[in-house]
Structure 1
Amino acid sequence: MRFLLTLTLFLVHWLAAGQNNASLIQESVQLEQNANEPAALDKLKQVLRTEPNNYYALWKSSELYSRLGISQRDKNNMLAFYRAAQKSAEQAIRVQPNEADGYYVLSVAMGRLALAGPNKEKIAAVKAIKTNAEKAIRYNPNHGRAWHVLGKWHYEISSLNFVERTAVKLFYGGFPESSYQHSIQAYEKAQKLEANFALNYLELAKAYHQTGQDAKARTLLQKLASLPTRTGDDNRIKAEGKALMKELE
């Protein structure tokens, strides 16, 4: 009898926690849609306190950590956000190793760490970024943002200077195949799959400019300016696009 009572109380508590977490996730989605990422992340943290293996909360919190990290003015704070993004992504993959989103957000976190961290961190992340983006695409070939990460990888690898290229060769025993054209192909694929993804417009415009296709770059930047603002980062992206447009005029 005592065992049944204990079991009943546990089930009631578990069901209540599950219902509360579902509400918290809905609130997080709404807050993100209203470009309030810090509050959205706080809701997901609340979910993870009682349900640490909630897959959605793990991968989405990783994405938000990466997105919020870029706005941190202090370099140490920025890196802390990106490392938190990496940790959440790795846990998401452990929970659901056959789902795309965990690999996608891990590739994003590693990419942000590579761009913000010291050179040794950038070099060490080169392989992991591409590997995880490709895994995300393998599990979901229509994952537009994973295609975007792959495009960014090709762009950044193609932009490495001589010293960085030499370091990559030494670290990996060779230089990975990459080109601006591969970058453009991946970005264009991402654009077809996710037409309102502002960051992809900006990065594709940069790739077009890098390859002398300024007319295409200007067309994209004009479209970028007219896109709806969907995240807190979109204003920064549009401002950068506006600055690039001035360079191309």
Structure 2
Amino acid sequence: MKYGILSVIALLFACMVYTQDMEPVLAEAAKLEKNLKETEALDTYISVLKIQPSNVKALCRAAELTGRIGSRFKDDNKKTEYFTTAKSYAEAALNQKQDYADANYTMAYAAMKMATVTKGKERAACLRDMKYYADSALLFNPNHAGALYITGKWNIEIYDLNVAEKAAVKVLFGGMPKASLEAAILNFEKARTANPWMLVNYLDLANTYVKNHSTGKAIDVLKKMVKMPPRTGDDESLKAEGRTLLASLQ
């Protein structure tokens, strides 16, 4: 009888913890992100997940921040460690809500990051997942800026494949998927309309315009980019790249 009562109490406590309102904590994490304190924001999202492991919003934000922070390491092993963790958060979010655009986006985002530290068949698989989950995100939200950006990035990645990588991609896709600079530009421009503050999108759009022999358009994009305020921890370094590229084009 004693153990039965204890079990009921433990179950009630677990239910109380699970249903605890995490919105104030999520708001604090979002505030930390806005103030470019991304490591602290990630720690706050993780604190939410310790109480509510299935909180989809916290899982999605933890996935993206882990991937973003991981990209800043120079060591590929360290990057891979972070990207693997990012993917685990994204998978958990998708398991909770498969029809959620952000959950599909973070899966595409994790795949995009993993593609930077893999080769051959493994990289081809990342590119496949990148496209599949970005398309899925756009199915649920056609104006998802992040998914539009990743679709543009995917076109560039496929366009730039070497011979060996093309062979691996053909096997996984059942043939060579269609990709072009024009398609990349279209998606980057759509992403810019959906979110005019995404500086990484500006830089990739400008580089794609350069590849497509549209230097004037690249210059216009970069002139706007370098005047914009930072919204992520990467934006100052992205702006520095943009200024360097702009100087080389003028």
TM category (shorter chain) comes to over 0.9
CA distance in 1, matches of 2:18, 2:172: 47
User: What SS is found at the alignment partner of 1:115?
Assistant: coil
Match of 2:117 in 1: 116
Distance change >3 Å, CA 123–CA 6, structure 1 → 2: closer
Match of 1:230 in 2: 231
CA distance in 1, matches of 2:18, 2:237: 37
Task: Show CA shifts across 1:180-237 (max 9, x none).
Answer: 1110111111111111111111111011011000110011111111111111011121
Q: TM-score, normalised by structure 1?
A: 0.92
Q: CA deviation at 1:40?
A: 0.3
5 Å-filtered alignment, 1:57-76, equals: 57-76=58-77
CA distance in 2, matches of 1:6, 1:21: 25
CA distance in 1, matches of 2:13, 2:175: 58
Q: Percent identity?
A: 34
CA distance in 1, matches of 2:167, 2:191: 30
Match of 1:181 in 2: 182
Q: TM-score, normalised by structure 2?
A: 0.92
CA distance in 1, matches of 2:138, 2:170: 26
Distance change >3 Å, CA 30–CA 247, structure 1 → 2: same
User: What SS is found at the alignment partner of 1:231?
Assistant: coil
Q: CA deviation at 1:166?
A: 2.5
CA distance in 2, matches of 1:218, 1:156: 22
Unaligned runs of 5+ in 2: none
Match of 1:133 in 2: 134
Match of 1:160 in 2: 161
| Stretch of structure 1 that moved more, 143-152 or 235-244 | 235-244
Distance change >3 Å, CA 89–CA 139, structure 1 → 2: same
Match of 2:209 in 1: 208
CA distance in 1, matches of 2:36, 2:19: 26
Match of 1:80 in 2: 81
| RMSD (CA atoms) | 2.1
Match of 2:23 in 1: 22
Distance change >3 Å, CA 4–CA 23, structure 1 → 2: farther
Distance change >3 Å, CA 234–CA 154, structure 1 → 2: same
| Stretch of structure 1 that moved more, 109-118 or 148-157 | 109-118
Match of 2:198 in 1: 197
8 A contact 2:199–2:235 mirrored in 1: yes
8 A contact 2:121–2:169 mirrored in 1: no
User: What SS is found at the alignment partner of 1:116?
Assistant: coil
Task: Show CA shifts across 1:37-93 (max 9, x none).
Answer: 111000111111111000001011001011111111221111111111111101100
Q: CA deviation at 1:120?
A: 3.1
CA distance in 2, matches of 1:23, 1:4: 33
Q: Which amino acid aligns with 2:218?
A: A
